[in-house]
Structure 1
Amino acid sequence: LAKCVSSPHFQVAERALYYWNNEYIMSLISDNAAKILPIMFPSLYRNSKTHWNKTIHGLIYNALKLFMEMNQKLFDDCTQQFKAEKLKS
């Protein structure tokens, strides 16, 4: 899913991001956020800055917002880890 979200092809990224509109999928994501967010965060964050399609930007911001509302501390931890790894490279 993270690879699909990172796709430069907007339809691939769009379809992957539509999972966040599905209540059942969101309940699974919520139950497993500690495993899923660290995997998804780099792709979502990177594409929020670099994807060329404005629709994808909106869907990514929605997904990031949902993750933030789900678990603020985990979201902050993932943000810090992503920024630290980015500084290393």
Structure 2
Amino acid sequence: MARGWVLPMLLVVGGLVLAIGQIATGAPGVAAVFLVAFVLLAGLHSPLAFPRSIGAVEAQRRSAADDRPRSRMGARTASPSHMIRCQGDGAMS
């Protein structure tokens, strides 16, 4: 879990160092731009932006715990009669 936060924290620390350096030279506007840019980059690379997906077993366990059906994203099921109707209506020709 801690490994996922190493890069975002390094980006924030690097942004702070650059911002402090810019403030020391008398450019607070540039410091603010650096700090905002590095915080946004850290946010994009954090586990909060892209959480780790769970496996099928964990999804089944959570589904059983809250009595909701599992989602079968990407599973395309069509009845054979539907396929015949699609092919027979002349739309494909």
Higher relative contact order (CA 8 A, sep 6+): 1
Q: What TM bracket, shorter-length normalisation?
A: under 0.3
TM-score (norm 2): 0.25
